[in-house]
Amino acid sequence: MRACIRTFLVAWTVVASWMMSGAGLAAENRPNILWIVIEDMSPHFACYGETAIETPHLDRLAGEGLLFRNAFTTGPVCSASRSALITGMYQTSIGAHHHRSGRGTEKIRLPEGIRIVPELFQQAGYYTCNGSWPGGRGAIGKTDYNFEWNTKCYDAADWSHRKEGQPFFAQIQLEGGKLRERANWKETVERELESPTDPQRAELPPYLPSDPVILEDWAAYLDAVRYTDLQVGQILARLTDEGILDQTVIFCFTDHGISHVRAKPFCYDAGLRVPLIVRGMGVDGGEERKDLVEHIDVAASSLGRAGIPVPPSMQGRDLFADPFVSRKYAHAARDRCDETVDHIRSVRTGQFKYIRNFEPERPYLQPNTYKDNKPIVQTMRRLHAAGQLDAYQALIMAESRPPEELYDLEADPHELNNLATNRAYLAKMIEFRGELATWISTTMDAGRVPESPFLYESDMKVYIDGIARRDPERAREIEKNIALMRARRR
Positions marked catalytic: 78
User: What's 292's DSSP letter?
Assistant: B
DSSP H helices, 373-425, are: 375-385
DSSP 177-246: GGGGGSTTHHHHHHHHSSSPPPGGG----TTS---HHHHHHHHHHHHHHHHHHHHHHHHHHHHHHTT-GG
- For the chain, the straight-line distance linking the first and the last C-alpha, in angstroms and rounded, comes to 30
* Structure letter (DSSP) for residue 366: -
Listed in sequence order, the residues at least 6 apart from 454 whose beta carbon sits closer than 8 Å to its beta carbon are: 106
Spatial distance between the Cα atoms of 177 and 174, rounded to a whole number of angstroms = 9
* Chain CA centroid to CA 292, Å: 15
Name the residue among 88, 151, 85, 91 with its Cα closest to residue 122. 151
**Length in residues, the chain:** 490
- Strand residue runs (E) in 60-211: 66-72, 127-132, 168-174
